[in-house]
Structure 1
Amino acid sequence: MNQARSVIAVLACMAPGLAAAAELDASRMSPLWGLPFAGILLSIALLPLVAPSFWHHHFGKVAAAWALAFLVPFAAVYGPGLAGTSLVHVLLAEYVPFVILLTALFTVAGGIYIRGNLHGTPALNTAILAIGAVLASIMGTTGASMLLIRPLIRANDNRTHTAHVVVFFIFIVSNAGGSLTPLGDPPLFLGFLKGVDFFWTLRHIFPETLFLVGTLLAIFYALDWWFYHHKEETLPVDPTPDTRAIGFDGARNFWLLGAIVGLVLLSGSWKSAIVFDIAGTPVGLPGLVRDVGLIAVTLISLKVTPGSVHADNQFSWGPMLEVAKLFAGIFLTIIPVIAMLRAGVNGPFGAVIAAVTRPDGTPDPAMYFWASGLLSSFLDNAPTYLVFFNTAGGDPKVLMTTMATTLAAISAGSVFMGANSYIGNAPNLMVKAIAEDRGVKMPSFFGYMLWSFGILVPLFIVMTFIWFR
């Protein structure tokens, strides 16, 4: 998710260091330039529901088609030089760092297998969710979800009601828990690459996270206790026999998780004057070292992890490939959208800017919270964060200080409300697929939203009045 100097307002909106020296006036662009971005997001939302077989086999082609639907007309209107420079910038400054980090977390987490069979009592389930919430900000919502969902399902495979366990797992581990560091969720890593301090979210939205996670854990415990004490809730025979001691296979990957954290911290704290200019995009030495280091960590994990661990975890590259292909299209098609938003109230999307701006011209944190959150619920929270980060000015120094409440609202909305639907965050669908593969009857798309809107939205309303007024 993303961080030259000689391009245009399109690129200036994605990296504040860019000089708006080009001849593109984003305020005069047609909103039609946003159609490819809307198209790819609607494809992600609808095609898995209405044409699942087609989507499963051709999602990469769909993403590429929408990317070309933007790049080809853009090159024709503004010139192939500008289109090429924009492409290079997005790949090097935004997309590649994002995918490298996700791949490292996905690989390392997939190399750790929690063996043995726990027994899913309300207290144990709540404890696993709480542990997952902490781990999500350390190893990412993707990493924590992939590490814990399988042992959690095994622990509850002797119970009649298990769907609610997975639903709350998505709420807490796959989303809310990842709100405290850039490692936690893709939107925050985007902010980190843009210049937001590594520990800024920990300092500024810890109370909101503690309230949301704590309340969800309390609600879950009460609900799970009610199910657990239901007649005939547990099966006479546990499908998973207690044949192996509780422990970790592939535990050396925990050291590699530490290496990931260290590399990300290093890239944020190390200042270097060494910058490589690649087709107008500056690539700093700290970021380059981080990315090369993350690639090395990924390769080491694959080398040192026994094949039996990957087999036990049912590890495959399918989920990661899907995310990589879809985000390539998203990051390209979002270029004109961000440019038009950065044009302000006089630009094509002036109504959006006005909606999150008070009459006196100051930002409205409550509206930023809900606007970024609702879009994150149904689109994708990483580019949504990017849009509103830039809508609020895009200057990390200002956003972290005088506009701290606004940045906190954007961060919280993008991360927390990714739990509102299955498509709000990548781990949501991964967890759903794993649960269904293990025999859990998960709610439908709209059935899940009954859970999320009934439980999460009231909590978000309370949070608005406490923190974002």
Structure 2
Amino acid sequence: MKGHTGRAGPWLILASMLAFWSQPTWAAMPNGATLSALWGVPFAGVLLSIAIFPLVAPAFWHHHFGKIAAAWALVFLVPFAFQFGTAEAFGALVHAMLDEYIPFIILLTALYTVGGGICVRGNLRGTPRLNTAILALGTLLASVMGTTGAAMLLIRPLLRANDNRRHVTHVVVFFIFLVANVGGALSPLGDPPLFLGFLEGVSFFWTTTHLVAPMLFVSGVLLAVFHALDSYYFHRREEVRLPFLDPTPEGAPLGIDGKVNFVLLAAVIALVLMSGLWRPQVTFDVFGTYVALQNVVRDVALIGVTLLSLALTPRAARAGNDFDWAPIEEVAKLFAGIFVTIVPVITILRAGEAGAFAGIVHLVNEPSGEPRDIMYFWATGLLSSFLDNAPTYLVFFNLAGGDARTLMTTGATTLAAISAGAVFMGANTYIGNAPNFMVKAIAQSRGVRMPSFFAYLGWSGAVLLPLFAATGWLFFRH
């Protein structure tokens, strides 16, 4: 217990300091037009820390990444409090936590816990055909159970199937591309940006009908490239060496432990849908942040689902998955820093032409004001690669007019470009989408040598960027 308290210490200190500084009246964030681009430095600091520390000081990073993320949050909040007042700083922290981070991490934890309680056991063999089939299945499941749920369900069976192979890194990288990102494009359940669009009034099946063609194109090309690459390693690079011991017992029958988690997964899906469909118009003012009743009910119920999964799942299922909390702990700490330091960046972007990032607004619209769909695709996508893709989606959704009914009809190609960019290009970096980090951490815990932050950028630059260029040209040229 003492160790857990020590790791949470920086965030408790941060919250306590701001609570003591706070004033009775809670103010909104300043107008984004008044903020300098320098307020984005702490956010850039978090990203550079994630990229550089694991390379130059891996042991230090492993033990102190939570403290580093908290330090960057303080680098933003303390000067912000001095310039705009402690009420504004505390309000910004509360808004980032209650409106965005806490719902985000509760949903991810529920999916991580439920998915980690389903253990596919048996002697799977990681042939190119089987690996491609698992990636294709995960891509399809991602729009039904979310990218996090599908990734947590299938990453461990995939790693176990390949535990006697020498070259596994490419398998996990393509798993991140497909299952943790591209596969979530067909429904609001698939990826948080699309869920936010659903809450803004976009029809549930709109994304299914309008993104199915680009999603099938991207996933089809990725699966074909993966099969060719995996076949090369399997037949050319690995057949010449003597086979070594397969950790999975020979002849072990296939089966599934922890089936109760399928019911709990259905409950997670139902709760997410409920929060989008049930609108009782009841809100609570928490230090200037308005929290809707349906979101409170959803989050409390998701915590209940998480606890039920822990109570009802047989120990053998979690033991078979080597389940532990390290991956979700890493995501929780790092994304806490990201969600806090991203506040001024998103605020400036929302100021549009009046803000320090006005060049982005000019980039996505013609001088006449007409949208340039291909630039919406790239701008949303590239920012989603480094910012959280959910608020980035909302920024460009509003830049395009913000009216769901209009965007679904006369602005359909623009909305499709924004949606595709936010979902697809979350695969460009480890921080583009939360499941990316979790899959990386799980693979590393199983002994897979995963690429560094910059090495992963090399993979995405070589494989994804040319593919996205073709996708933009084919579907969003307007």
Q: TM-score scaled by structure 2?
A: 0.86
- What residue in structure 1 maps to residue 170 of structure 2? 164
- What residue in structure 2 maps to residue 184 of structure 1? 190
**Judging changes above 3 Å, is the alpha-carbon distance between structure 1 residues 114 and 234 closer, same or farther for their aligned structure 2 residues?**
farther
Could you tell me which of 38, 44, 50 is aligned with 1:38? 44
- Distance in 2 between residues matched to 1:23 and 1:144, nearest whole Å: 36
Contact 1:136 1:173 in 2 (8 A): yes
Contact 1:141 1:173 in 2 (8 A): yes
Which segment drifts farther, 59-68 or 387-396?
387-396
- Distance in 1 between residues matched to 2:53 and 2:409, nearest whole Å: 41
- What residue in structure 1 maps to residue 325 of structure 2? 317
- Distance in 1 between residues matched to 2:202 and 2:32, nearest whole Å: 26
- What residue in structure 2 maps to residue 466 of structure 1? 474
Q: Secondary structure at the match of 2:323?
A: coil
Contact 2:346 2:391 in 1 (8 A): no
- Distance in 1 between residues matched to 2:150 and 2:117, nearest whole Å: 12
- Distance in 1 between residues matched to 2:227 and 2:98, nearest whole Å: 45
Letter in 2 for 1:330: I
Q: What is the CA-CA distance between 1:373 and the residue it aligns to?
A: 2.1
- What residue in structure 1 maps to residue 349 of structure 2? 341
- What residue in structure 1 maps to residue 258 of structure 2? 250
- What residue in structure 2 maps to residue 265 of structure 1? 273
**Judging changes above 3 Å, is the alpha-carbon distance between structure 1 residues 383 and 38 closer, same or farther for their aligned structure 2 residues?**
farther
Q: Does 1:79 align with 2:85?
A: yes
**Judging changes above 3 Å, is the alpha-carbon distance between structure 1 residues 190 and 365 closer, same or farther for their aligned structure 2 residues?**
same
Q: What is the CA-CA distance between 1:330 and the residue it aligns to?
A: 2.0
Letter in 2 for 1:408: A
- What residue in structure 2 maps to residue 288 of structure 1? 296
Could you tell me which of 22, 27, 35 is aligned with 1:29? 35
Q: Does 1:330 align with 2:330?
A: no
**Judging changes above 3 Å, is the alpha-carbon distance between structure 1 residues 377 and 83 closer, same or farther for their aligned structure 2 residues?**
closer
Contact 2:37 2:357 in 1 (8 A): yes
Which segment drifts farther, 249-258 or 49-58?
49-58
Q: What is the CA-CA distance between 1:93 and the residue it aligns to?
A: 1.9
Contact 1:41 1:379 in 2 (8 A): no
Which segment drifts farther, 124-133 or 217-226?
217-226
Letter in 2 for 1:158: N
Letter in 2 for 1:295: I
Q: Does 1:369 align with 2:377?
A: yes
Q: Does 1:70 align with 2:112?
A: no
Q: What is the CA-CA distance between 1:33 and the residue it aligns to?
A: 1.8
Contact 1:160 1:233 in 2 (8 A): no
Could you tell me which of 69, 81, 96 is aligned with 1:90? 96
Could you tell me which of 406, 420, 436 is aligned with 1:428? 436
Q: Does 1:299 align with 2:310?
A: no
Q: Secondary structure at the match of 2:342?
A: helix
- What residue in structure 1 maps to residue 14 of structure 2? none
Letter in 1 for 2:189: L
- What residue in structure 2 maps to residue 412 of structure 1? 420
Contact 1:40 1:66 in 2 (8 A): yes
Contact 1:159 1:234 in 2 (8 A): no
**Judging changes above 3 Å, is the alpha-carbon distance between structure 1 residues 415 and 356 closer, same or farther for their aligned structure 2 residues?**
same
Structure 2: gaps of 5 or more residues:
1-26
- What residue in structure 2 maps to residue 15 of structure 1? none
Query: After the TM superposition, which segments of 4 or more aligned residues of structure 1 sit over 6 Å from their partners?
Result: none
- Distance in 2 between residues matched to 1:50 and 1:141, nearest whole Å: 31
- Distance in 2 between residues matched to 1:456 and 1:325, nearest whole Å: 28
Counting matched residue pairs gives 449
Which segment drifts farther, 371-380 or 270-279?
371-380
Q: What is the CA-CA distance between 1:155 and the residue it aligns to?
A: 1.8
Identity %: 64
Contact 1:421 1:448 in 2 (8 A): yes
Contact 2:29 2:91 in 1 (8 A): no
- What residue in structure 2 maps to residue 154 of structure 1? 160
Q: What is the CA-CA distance between 1:294 and the residue it aligns to?
A: 0.8
- Distance in 1 between residues matched to 2:405 and 2:91, nearest whole Å: 27
- Distance in 2 between residues matched to 1:22 and 1:242, nearest whole Å: 62
Structure 1: gaps of 5 or more residues:
1-20
- What residue in structure 1 maps to residue 118 of structure 2? 112
Which segment drifts farther, 106-115 or 71-80?
71-80
Q: What is the CA-CA distance between 1:141 and the residue it aligns to?
A: 2.0
- Distance in 1 between residues matched to 2:452 and 2:121, nearest whole Å: 30
Q: What is the CA-CA distance between 1:316 and the residue it aligns to?
A: 1.4
- Distance in 2 between residues matched to 1:168 and 1:25, nearest whole Å: 41
Q: Secondary structure at the match of 2:285?
A: strand
- Distance in 2 between residues matched to 1:91 and 1:437, nearest whole Å: 29
- Distance in 2 between residues matched to 1:164 and 1:25, nearest whole Å: 45
- Distance in 1 between residues matched to 2:200 and 2:56, nearest whole Å: 37
Which segment drifts farther, 260-269 or 136-145?
136-145
Q: Secondary structure at the match of 1:118?
A: coil
Contact 2:111 2:149 in 1 (8 A): yes
Q: What is the CA-CA distance between 1:263 and the residue it aligns to?
A: 0.7
Q: What is the CA-CA distance between 1:208 and the residue it aligns to?
A: 1.0
- Distance in 2 between residues matched to 1:406 and 1:172, nearest whole Å: 23
Q: What is the CA-CA distance between 1:132 and the residue it aligns to?
A: 0.7
Q: What is the CA-CA distance between 1:397 and the residue it aligns to?
A: 4.7
- Distance in 2 between residues matched to 1:120 and 1:247, nearest whole Å: 17
Which segment drifts farther, 437-446 or 35-44?
437-446
Q: What is the CA-CA distance between 1:251 and the residue it aligns to?
A: 0.9
Q: Deviations over 1:163-195 (max 9, x none)?
A: 332222122112211222333234334444555
Q: Secondary structure at the match of 2:186?
A: coil
Alignment of 1:222-241 (within 5 A): 222-230=228-236, 231-232=239-240, 235=243, 238-241=246-249
Q: Deviations over 1:188-222 (max 9, x none)?
A: 34444555444432232121111111221222223
- Distance in 2 between residues matched to 1:135 and 1:406, nearest whole Å: 26
- Distance in 1 between residues matched to 2:47 and 2:392, nearest whole Å: 11
Q: Secondary structure at the match of 2:163?
A: coil
Q: Secondary structure at the match of 1:210?
A: helix
Which segment drifts farther, 127-136 or 66-75?
66-75
- Distance in 1 between residues matched to 2:398 and 2:104, nearest whole Å: 18
**Judging changes above 3 Å, is the alpha-carbon distance between structure 1 residues 55 and 233 closer, same or farther for their aligned structure 2 residues?**
same
Q: Deviations over 1:35-76 (max 9, x none)?
A: 222222222232222222222222222222222222222222
- Distance in 1 between residues matched to 2:466 and 2:229, nearest whole Å: 17
